[in-house]
Copies of this chain bind each other. A is one copy, B any other.
């Protein structure tokens, strides 16, 4: 791998989805320059950034001379196909399906509901006060994590990590949710299997280095 990164990552220190990509890049030892887009000042809505991603969302991964890749799961799948070691998906088809399903339970069914743009809608157009907004976030966090716990706890495929003893995209997604919940002090449910797996992930250097509080611009 060259010292001069071929990848640039548009991201935000407090973004769950950026964290996922950061973890994968470090796990795979891929050098990257991260370019902060300040979601706190709506920098994602500037014409410059909209030309990178018309959806006005981070992360966006740029490989020299190529169009951006957006959406964290699409980026994780791309990195895993392009740089297969260490793998972030199992080899067997049913294992891959299980891991992708666990990842989607977080990345599709939980995270989008508590993203900043959604909370902003609720506190402005939706007239939610601060308590109602926190209730909303806790509700979807608890729903997602309780479902994860139920799926992980009783399944012999669960190991040290969500699927056996290797880190997969399911662990990356699960940890992204818990890291943000802790950071912003959102209530999370009693979920011993989830908590055990996340604690194990956080012992790994890639997860530690990707943590929001170590990124440029972090205010917590």
Contacts and interface: CB of A to CB of B under 8 A. Distances in A.
Interface of A: 50, 54-57, 66-67, 69-71, 73-75, 77-78, 81-82, 93-94, 96-98, 100-101, 103-105, 107-109, 111-113, 118, 121-122, 125-126, 128, 132, 135-136, 139, 147, 150-151, 155
A11 to B, nearest CB: 16
B97 A75 contact: yes
Contacts of A93: 78, 81-82
Nearest to A125: B135
Contact of A112 (B56, B57, B82, B113): B113
A50 B147 CA distance: 10
A136 B121 CA distance: 9
In this complex, the member of A71, A77, A113 whose beta carbon has the largest number of chain B beta carbons within 10 angstroms is A71
Contacts of A55: 105, 109, 147, 150-151
Contacts of A70: 101, 105
Contact of A109 (B54, B57, B66): B57
B150 A105 contact: no
Nearest to A115: B109
A71 B135 contact: no
Given A55-B109, A147-B54, A97 B126 contact: no
B78 A97 contact: yes
